[in-house]
Amino acid sequence: MSPGVKIPMPLRVPELASSLGRLLVPRRLEEPWVPLDDLREDLATSVMELAGQARAAAGREERDRVLEAVSRRAWLAAWEAAVRQAAERVTAALDGEIERAARRVRMPARQRRRRQLTGSEKRAIAARLAAGGEAFVAAVDALDGAGLLARDAGVLDKTLHAEWQDALRAAARRLEAAWLALETAVAEERRRWAVETDAIARWRPSLWPVIVAWTPLAAGLIWLGLVLGGYVPAPAWLAARLGF
Separation of CA 135 from chain center: 18
Sign of CA dihedral 124, 129, 135, 140: negative
32 phi and psi, to 5 degrees? Answer: -60, 155
Residue 201's pLDDT band (cuts 50, 70, 90): confident
Domain range annotation of the chain: 17-205, 207-244
pLDDT at residue 182, rounded to an integer? 97
pTM of the model: 0.80
Q: What is the pLDDT of residues 142-170, one digit of tens each?
A: 999 999 998 887 777 788 989 999 999 99
Q: What is the pLDDT of residues 19-73, one digit of tens each?
A: 999 999 988 877 888 999 999 999 999 999 999 999 999 999 899 999 999 999 9
pLDDT at 209 over 80: no
pLDDT at residue 210, rounded to an integer? 53
pLDDT at residue 1, rounded to an integer? 43
pLDDT at residue 115, rounded to an integer? 87
Residue partners of 23: CB distance under 8 A and separation at least 6: 40, 43, 44, 47, 175, 176, 179
